[in-house]
Amino acid sequence: MKNLKILLVDDEEEFVTTLAERLELRGLQARAALNGEAALQMIEADTPEIVILDVMMPGIGGFEVLRRIKAQHPQLPVILLTGRGSTKEGIKGMQQGAFDYLMKPLNIEELIKKIQEAIESHL
Amino acid sequence: MNTCEDKEAAFFGKITAGITHELKNVLAIIRESSGLMGDIISISPEAVVKHQEKIQNSMVRIKEQIERGVNLTDRLNRFAHSTDETLSKIDLQETVEQLIILAQRFARLKHIVLKTVTPDQEGPAVTLVTRHVQLQMALFESLECCFTVMSAGGEINIGIHNLDGTNAVHVVCKGDLPEQSEFSRKILESKNWPVLQEIVACMQGSANLDEIEHGIVLCFPDEIGR
């Protein structure tokens, strides 16, 4: 897990930059993208080992970003972040190839556990 | 969507649901920021940060309040989405549990505790095809009727039963209550009783006083006609 390259994608800048800092304190290499377009460019320039992707974003939405990632990098695990009280969006995302989903606000230990599971299942 | 009222409800629900998404983002930022503070304190050598213990205690309180906020926004979000469709298939127990959480504040102001009664035996969930918003209104009005008769320190238990093939919600008041006849008179005279009657009539259901226990029995058909 040390030095694992993670891409965090969310339009809430304060959220995503703080989360990146917390992951870095735990030895992971976290980068942040504030929209879908930037995320796709960053993936092409330097493919991360895992993507944490918010579903609800302006511009290219999370599901469309997921579809494009899976088309280009089918083996790249994606964990979705959903804000809804129900599990509907998460399940929809998993049907479209996401490894799993987590609901906001996050529990960082749960996120790390989920990252670990995703990486192990893609070895 | 047929009536202007349905459209109004859908609009109200859409805006409320949108705001709950924003509130979740606010809570997420607060959680990550306080989490980062906690991370920094935990990696700092002991006593480097002044009043370290007080800061940690304060962060525990922030965390607890975030959990509270998340639970409330989740419930509010589901409540807002209940206006998405005029008629929908609804889990009755889930709706009762949700309404109890959303009505807690109103009960707390009267010093009354709301509780759900877990069904005696595990069985398939009781589902209804009905108007979700009206169902929640009926449950809420029945609580309001009870509030008018109850004193501080009381408790309301809400359970689901199947009475002769009808889906029934049993709202039972406990605590320092007037005699059954006086209890019934006060409920019938409360301003909420006719409102409750109007709502259940729209749902092709009924609301009656419980003749044995201090309470109200709401009955709903499996599916209401369109």
CA distances from A37 to B22, B85, B87 (A): 22, 34, 39
Nearest chain B residue to A54 by CA distance is B25
Contacts of A18 in chain B (CB under 8 A): 29, 32-33, 35-36
Q: Is B33 on the interface with A (CB under 8 A)?
A: yes
pLDDT score at A83: 75
**pLDDT over 90 at A96, yes or no:** yes
- What gap in Å lies between CA A79 and CA B184, rounded to an integer? 55
Is pLDDT of A35 > 90?
yes
A83:B31 CB<8 A: no
For chain A, give every domain's residue range.
Answer: 1-85
Instruction: Measure CB to CB from residue A105 to each of B21, B28, B43 and give the nearest one.
Output: B28
Q: Largest Cα–Cα distance of chain B, in whole Å?
A: 69
Q: What value of ipTM does the predicted structure carry?
A: 0.81
Contacts of B29 (CB under 8 A, 6+ apart): A12, A14, A15, A18
Cβ contact A119:A77 at 8 Å: yes
What class is the B88-220 domain?
alpha beta
The CA distance from B52 to B35, in Å, is 15
At residue A81, the pLDDT reads 93
List, for residues B63-81, the tens digit of each pLDDT value: 899 988 988 888 888 888 8
Q: Which residue has the higher pLDDT, A85 or B25?
A: B25
Overall residue count recorded for chain A in this entry: 123
Residue of B28, B36, B40 with shortest CB distance to A104: B28
User: How does the average pLDDT of chain A come out, rounded?
Assistant: 92
pLDDT averaged per 10 residues, chain B (length 226): 75 88 91 91 71 82 90 88 85 91 92 87 79 93 96 94 82 94 94 95 93 92 78
Contact A105 B21 (CB under 8 A): no
Residues of chain B positioned with their CB less than 8 A from the CB of A108: 32, 35
- Name the residue facing A22 among B20, B36, B70 (closest C-beta): B36
Domain covering A1-85: architecture: 3-Layer(aba) Sandwich (3.40)
Q: What are the extents of the domains in chain B?
A: 4-81, 88-220
Residue for token pair 């980068």: A31
User: Do residues B140 and B95 make contact, with C-beta atoms less than 8 angstroms apart?
Assistant: no
B20 touches chain A (CB under 8 A): yes
Identify the three-state secondary structure at position B158: strand
Please tell me the predicted confidence (pLDDT) of residue B185: 94
Q: Say if residue A66's pLDDT is above 60.
A: yes
Question: Which pLDDT belongs to residue B223?
Answer: 87
CB-based contact A41:A69 (threshold 8 Å): no
Give pLDDT, residue B120. Answer: 62
pLDDT value for B121: 63
Residues of A near B (CB-CB distance < 8 A)? 12, 14-15, 18-19, 21-22, 25, 56, 83-86, 104-106, 108
* Higher-confidence position of A77 and B118: A77
Of A8-17, A97-106, B76-85, B148-157, the poorest mean pLDDT is in B76-85
Q: Which pLDDT score is estimated for B117?
A: 87
Look at residue B36 in the predicted model and tell me its pLDDT: 92
Q: Kindly determine whether residue A19 and residue B32, on different chains, have CB atoms separated by under 8 Å.
A: yes
